[in-house]
Amino acid sequence: MSNREKVYKFALEHALKKIEKNMKELRDSFPFVTVNGKWEICKDEDWDLNIFRDGYWCNGFWIGMLWLGYKVRKDTKYKRKAYELCKIIEPRKNSNKTHDLGFLFHPSFCVGYEVTKDEYLKNIALTAADSLLSRFNDKINAITALGEPQKSGLTAIDTMMNLPLLWWAYEKTGSKRYYDVACKHAFTTMQYFVRKDGSTYHIVEFDLDNGGIKKKYTLQGYNDESCWSRGQAWAIYGFALAYKYAKKKEFLRTVEKLVDYYIANCPPDYVPYWDFNDPEIPNTARDSSAAAITAGGLLEFSEEKKFGDIASDILDSVCKGYLTEGGGDGVLKHGCFNKLEGKGVDESLIWGDYYFIEALSKVLYSRKE
């Protein structure tokens, strides 16, 4: 066993211990971000413009961590708890109020199906994929983020990481309707979100009357023209998957451009600050979740050594410098949810933990299967 593999196994063991601890303490609750190291809980509630709650999109990640724990440990308590929580979020399969159906149903039902081959999980995931399809607006060739699908022109970089639900549905059914929507949305994102220097916008708002652009901005970043690091990470992973399934060279070139920007603007350990353009750098918050997401995306390129090397460098840094210590509930420290609003700053984030465990699982297990 190489030294690197030992480091990864230690980190995965650290994560599994946290999962076991949280299974006992969370019961039927869903973690969101930590506050002083302890999980803040979010209810399983659908998106509602009038009662907006930050964590409505996060509940699939905790379930996904349980499935990955079961994959490694083969202990039925992980599987049992994952099924219990799947039943709680299952009713949201028919809701199309948000693009976040991918975040909700891919880690929970799709990953669960890959681990168990249970047709129940597959069928629910396909229903959720159909609901996500209904958010596609052909006037702008994109999946709209929030609001009534055919009346909203609001699109987000995050949607690139909701597309895995559609790519998975295409893989399982062979139906081109999933492929076509995912491809069209990726092309629209490539055209309007990715700047010439390889950085990304967070939000693009289209005019539904003429298909033009109303506004481009960066909602959770330093300012409208800055580059929010988690948005950059969503784009890297999202376009990595787009290339994996569609094999279009434009998507590969986009990944290369996005990664070049990420590496050129990261500190030496490849864990970015919350926004690449914050003038307070280096005296500002990091976002370990952006690093975990980026590493996971680059691991999709098994044939591209340069991407694999970068993913390994990122994982090495995260394993050696970003694991929680003491009694903290999360797996990774130094995450940043929303710097502008002071939420989840220098804390653990449930999606960061999920993508970190997913990346370790890819390196230690998936490549050997």
Looking only at the bridges linking them, the beta strands covering 136-137 and 213-217 are unpaired
| 46 is known as an active-site residue | no
Q: Please state whether the peptide bond connecting residue 282 to the residue before it is cis, i.e. omega within 30 degrees of 0.
A: yes
- Choice among 44, 158, 275, 278 that is catalytic: 158
- Choice among 100, 287, 329, 353 that is catalytic: 100
CA atoms in the 13 A half-sphere facing the CB of 358: 29
| 100 is known as an active-site residue | yes
The catalytic residue positions are 100, 158
